[in-house]
Every structure is written in structure tokens, then in C-alpha cells.
Amino acid sequence: MELIIKNLDKKYGNGVHALNNVSLTIETGMFGLLGPNGAGKSSLMRTLATLQYADSGSITLGDVLPKKQNKKKKIFILLLLISNLAWSQNNKIQGVIKDSETFQPIPYVSIYSEIELKNNSTGSISNENGEFTIIINNKSKIVFSHINYEPFSIESDGNLKEILLKPKKYILDEIVISNEKPKDYLKKIINLSKNKIDKNTLLKGYCREIVKVNNEYTKYSDALVDYYVKKDNGKSNLVLGQHRALKSNNLNNEDDKSIGNDNSPINVQDYVKNAYNFETIEKLIKSKDYEFERKIKKEANGDGYEYIGIIPNEESDEMLNKGYVIIDPKSKSILEFKIYTSENHLKNAKTINLLIAKAKRTKILVWSKFKIINSQYILTYYKKQVGMYIKMGKKVDHNFDFSSDLFVFEFKNNVEIPDNGYSKKTLFEAGNSFTDNFWTKYNVFPLSENEEKFINSIQQK
């Protein structure tokens, strides 16, 4: 069966000319559709499958000339096309990761291909529901890694659905007795970790920001991002790639609309800097309201890690945090830290009077993960979440939840740092500029069911 494309042209409403007089004849057989980002691959496939229509030109598959088809005919044509074209996204593998004993989902598992790791790819990461997506070029061994689970690897045939990880069994889980206080030891580890940023490095990633009002999604923005990290200090310049911004119609007054941009407690320019400078931990070290407990966890094979628990003063009337730091005992590097509001101190949240509003911080979460890849100390994941109660004027009396995720999927060394970059505080302010569904590529973690429902509701309006 022959596929004939003649003078196909497609221009989107945002001005992007995705298909420009495309003509092509494909005989029966197996073919690949390759091209750089923004070349028009997705636009061509969607047009061939009659999921969208070209502005001009024609498509013929055998004796079928696709026009406005009903749903069954669309599916039929799409199946015929897939059987004749090997599309680059056929190598996308999806599944869910669960605990082998409880069968509960495991969030934030590191997933990578051994081949891609050698090429400075960090792999992928599962979302909060244990769901993951990873794109591989060929059949490859895929590794699943989590600090509290035994590593698991499998030769992928493209049909992974459910991965069960076995919890690690520790033969040693004890408090370290030392003349060096845990707080002082942590200070030393932080300095050693900072000194590992010894090259100007480009971190290529996917970033998203979400705003909820009274537990309902109101804003969702995401982008491909390039963070150019300066050696020695971890400061970075941000260059924005493709990006989109979605907003609920529930934001119906100017006060609501303004919150989440200039007033946002998160700043996209600072994500990488805040991860690498460990400022969140250092603030707790300086405070007298925290104790630190150093432990070592060791498996039967000798592998293990050091763990420093951050313990708030239970008698304090301040809103305190708690958390932990995980340290690789061989390289003396911080592999992960998580700081979040102590449940016992939520009652201590205090309202402060601002110039035109009243505000109260109700929670905070800062979470960073690092990996040593090819002897390089690389940030792989950063998350920040801030809860705020804000009262402003007569119409704003809400609980806001601001959250951001940065997932790094690739890095490059010894790069030149650009002089200028993205200067705004949030991704949402950048608006929409994209040529394909970038959020489905680059090993990006899948959306949760509620996130997907919100996005679909906005796109359909």
C-alpha cells in the first residue's frame, strides 16, 4: 500500500509554520521518521492520522483519501500508518513501580539506560504515584534505583508494565558515636559537596509549576529549560526552550490573577542555585531550635549510606521544619536532602501583615536529589512546595499551594555561560511558545490523574 503526500501545508494560530509544502511518497515497508525538535514530525503524523487537518495539500493511502472521518475511520487510518512507519516515539516505555511486599507505588525512583548513562543522560524518574516514562534508542538494559530498595535491572522489550522492587535489608542501622558533632560533620559534608562543582556545566531539563487555590488547580505551566551552572558557586543562568501556560477560568478577578506571578514564593531562576548551595540546610544548622542525629545504614554486602536526621525542638512555639540528609560514605557527597514542615508545628503558623494583604505560611517542602555520573556531581531532581493563606481585598480569602518540579535529563561539561537569560520569576509569565508536545518527550515524568484532568479541561475550552 502506497502513501502519497502532496504539497502539505500547516500553519498554527501562534504563527508556527509546521509543514511547508511537504511532498513525499512512501512504499510498503518499514520506515523511520527522524528530525530535530520542531521539525514538524508530530504535526505530520497528526495530519496523516486525521487528528488535525492541513491548510492545503492532499494525502492518499492506497485508494483512501482522508477527509473528515468518523472516529472508527480515524483509528483505522492511524493503525495502517503505524504499520508502515516506525515513528521515533515507539521507543517510549511506560509503567509503574511498586514495593514487592506492600504493592504500594514507589515515588521518585531513578530509572536509566546503561547505554544512555555513558552519554551524560541522567535517565528518568517516577512520579509521586510510581508511574514512569523512559525513552530509549534501542533494546537496552534498564536500571531501577532507589536508596531504600535493591537495584533492579531488566532487558527492555518495550512492554514493561509493572516493576516490583524489593526493600533493602540492613544489617546495621545505628547512631554514629563520634567526637565530631553531627552538626559539624554536616557542615563539612556541605562544603565538600559544594566544591564538587568544578566545571561550567549545562543542565538540560524539564520544569513545571503548579498553583492551586483552595485545593483546586488554577495554573499549570511547564517548559524545557537549560541551566548554565557556574563552577565553584553553583549559580546559574536560565535559558528557556519551548514552554506553555494554562489557566483555569475560575480566576475571575484581578487580585486572584496577580497572585502566582510577582507574588509567587518560588522563583524559577533560583532552583539550581538553591539546590547546589544547600542554603535550606545551612539555615537550620545555624538555628538553636534543631538537633541533628547521625546514623549509618549498611547492607550485608557492605553497601550503605549515612543518614543525618534533622529534629526540631518540640517545645518551640515557632513553625519549625524537619527532614534528613543522605550522604554517600565513599565520595562524602550529599545524594539527597528533604526539608519539610514538622506536623507538630503546623499550629504555630503566624499571620503577618503586608502592605496590601495578610499572609500566613502553612507549609514548606524542599527536596533535592543528586547523582554521581561519570565522576560528575549532578543535580537530577529539585522540588519546592509552599502553602500560603492570603487575604487581600474583599475577593481574595484563599489557601494557595505553589509547587515546582525540575527534572534534569542530560548534562554537558565545559560550556560557555551565556551573558543573558530568562529574567522573569515564574514560567507562567512566559506564556505559550511550542511547536510539538515537548511535555511527552525527554523522559519527563507522567502527569498524575488530577493534573491530566485539569490540563485536558483547559485545552478543551
Residue 82 binned pLDDT confidence (cut-offs 50, 70, 90): very low
**pLDDT reported for residue 461:** 43
In a domain, 298, yes or no: yes
Query: Over the chain, what is the mean pLDDT?
Result: 84
Secondary structure E strands in 74-215: 85-87, 92-99, 110-113, 124-125, 131-135, 141-146, 149-155, 162-165, 170-175, 201-213
Task: Convert the pLDDT of each residue in 197-233 to its tens digit.
Answer: 888 999 999 999 999 989 899 999 999 999 999 987 7
In a domain, 101, yes or no: yes
**pLDDT reported for residue 440:** 83
- Do 141 and 236 share a domain, yes or no? no
Note the pTM of the prediction, 2 decimals: 0.77
Q: Where are the alpha helices (DSSP H) in 215-299?
A: 254-258, 271-277, 279-286
- Do 163 and 184 share a domain, yes or no? no
Question: Is 353 or 182 the better-scoring residue by pLDDT?
Answer: 182
Task: Convert the pLDDT of each residue in 92-122 to its tens digit.
Answer: 788 899 999 999 999 999 998 877 767 778 8
Task: Pull the grid cell for residue 99.
Answer: 514495593
In a domain, 451, yes or no: no
**pLDDT reported for residue 79:** 45
**pLDDT reported for residue 295:** 94
Q: Element (H or E) spanning 71, and its range?
A: helix 71-84
- Do 385 and 297 share a domain, yes or no? yes
In a domain, 454, yes or no: no
Please state the rounded mean pLDDT for residues 36-49.
Answer: 75
- Do 195 and 274 share a domain, yes or no? yes
In a domain, 73, yes or no: no
Task: Convert the pLDDT of each residue in 304-331 to its tens digit.
Answer: 899 999 999 999 999 999 999 999 999 9
CA proximity to 80, closest of 28, 8, 10: 28
Structural domain span for residue 313? 171-432
- Do 186 and 164 share a domain, yes or no? no
**pLDDT reported for residue 258:** 52
pLDDT of residue 234 exceeding 90: no
- Do 137 and 176 share a domain, yes or no? no
d(CA 177, CA 181): 9
pLDDT of residue 80 exceeding 80: no
Task: Convert the pLDDT of each residue in 127-162 to its tens digit.
Answer: 989 999 888 766 678 899 999 999 998 876 666 678
**pLDDT reported for residue 192:** 93
**pLDDT reported for residue 64:** 57
Residue 252 binned pLDDT confidence (cut-offs 50, 70, 90): low
Residue 303: Cβ-neighbour burial (10 angstroms; 0-12, 13-18, 19+): middle
- Do 41 and 113 share a domain, yes or no? no
Question: Is 337 or 16 the better-scoring residue by pLDDT?
Answer: 337
Q: Is the dihedral of CA 156, 157, 158, 162 positive or negative?
A: negative
Q: Identify the bridge partners of residue 321 per DSSP, sorted by sequence position.
A: 341
* DSSP β-ladder status, 131-135 and 92-99: antiparallel
Contact between 229 and 203 (Cβ < 8 Å): yes
- Do 184 and 329 share a domain, yes or no? yes
d(CA 335, CA 332): 9
pLDDT of residue 28 exceeding 60: yes
- Do 221 and 316 share a domain, yes or no? yes
Task: Pull the grid cell for residue 213.
Answer: 487555590
Task: Convert the pLDDT of each residue in 416-448 to its tens digit.
Answer: 999 889 999 999 999 999 998 888 877 787 888
d(CA 227, CA 206): 11
- Do 60 and 110 share a domain, yes or no? no
Residue 13 binned pLDDT confidence (cut-offs 50, 70, 90): low
Question: Is 181 or 440 the better-scoring residue by pLDDT?
Answer: 181
**pLDDT reported for residue 220:** 93
**pLDDT reported for residue 377:** 92
In a domain, 449, yes or no: no
Task: Pull the grid cell for residue 337.
Answer: 536532602
Q: Count structural domains, the chain.
A: 3
In a domain, 122, yes or no: yes
- Do 256 and 120 share a domain, yes or no? no
Task: Convert the pLDDT of each residue in 274-286 to its tens digit.
Answer: 999 999 999 999 9
Task: Convert the pLDDT of each residue in 349-382 to its tens digit.
Answer: 888 877 777 888 899 999 999 999 888 899 999 9
d(CA 167, CA 150): 6
The CATH code of the domain that includes 154 is: 2.60.40.1120
**pLDDT reported for residue 88:** 41
430 C-beta neighbours (distance < 10 Å), count: 16
Mapped onto helix, strand or coil, the DSSP state of residue 328 is strand
Please state the rounded mean pLDDT for residues 42-59.
Answer: 77
Residues 6+ apart with CB under 8 A from 384: 266, 271, 274, 365, 366, 367, 403, 404
Residue 261 binned pLDDT confidence (cut-offs 50, 70, 90): low
448 C-beta neighbours (distance < 10 Å), count: 13
Please state the rounded mean pLDDT for residues 258-273.
Answer: 75
Question: Is 320 or 29 the better-scoring residue by pLDDT?
Answer: 320
Please state the rounded mean pLDDT for residues 282-293.
Answer: 96
Share of the chain above pLDDT 70, in %: 83
Residues 6+ apart with CB under 8 A from 397: 391
In a domain, 255, yes or no: yes
- Do 216 and 300 share a domain, yes or no? yes
pLDDT of residue 83 exceeding 60: no
Secondary structure E strands in 141-215: 141-146, 149-155, 162-165, 170-175, 201-213
Of the residues 168, 200, 221, the one at which a domain ends = 168
**pLDDT reported for residue 71:** 47
d(CA 255, CA 54): 41
